[in-house]
Amino acid sequence: MQEPDMQKLDALVGRLVGDLGAGVSGVLVVLGDHLGLFRSMMDGRLRSSMEIAETTGLAERNVREWLAAMAAADYVTFDEKSNKFGMSPEQAMVFSNEDSPAFFGGAFEIVQSMWIDEPKVEEAFRTGRGLGWHEHSTCLFRGTERFFRPGYNSHLVDEWIPALQGVREKLERGAEVADVGCGHGASTILMAKAFPKSHFHGFDYHAPSIERAKRAAQEAGVSDRVTFHQASAKEFPGGNYDLVAMFDCLHDMGDPVGAGRHIRETMAKDGTWMIVEPFAHDGLKDNLNPVGRVYYGASAMICTPASMAQEVGLGLGAQAGEMKLRKVALDAGYSHFRRASETPFNMIFEVRA
Read off the pLDDT of each residue in 267-295 and give the average, rounded to a whole number.
97
Average pLDDT, the chain: 97
Domains of the chain (ranges; CATH) run 6-95 (1.10.10.10), 105-352 (3.40.50.150)
- Could you write out the three-class secondary structure of 248-278? CCHHHCCCHHHHHHHHHHHEEEEEEEEEEEE
77-79/84-86 β-pairing: antiparallel
> What is the DSSP secondary structure assignment for residue 135, as one 8-state letter?
G
Q: 19-75 pLDDT, tens per residue?
A: 999 999 999 999 999 999 999 999 999 999 999 999 999 999 999 999 999 999 999
Q: 119-164 pLDDT, tens per residue?
A: 999 999 999 999 999 999 999 999 999 999 999 999 999 999 999 9
Residue 69: predicted pLDDT: 98
Q: 317-340 pLDDT, tens per residue?
A: 999 999 999 999 999 999 999 999
User: In percent, how much of the chain has pLDDT > 70?
Assistant: 100
What pTM was computed for the model? 0.94
Chain-centre distance for alpha carbon 107: 7
Angle at 299 between CA 286 and CA 93, to 5 degrees: 85
Residue 23: predicted pLDDT: 95
Q: Taking 90 as the threshold, does the pLDDT of residue 238 lie above it?
A: no
Residue 1: predicted pLDDT: 79
The Cβ-side half-sphere exposure at 170, using a 13 Å CA radius, reads 19
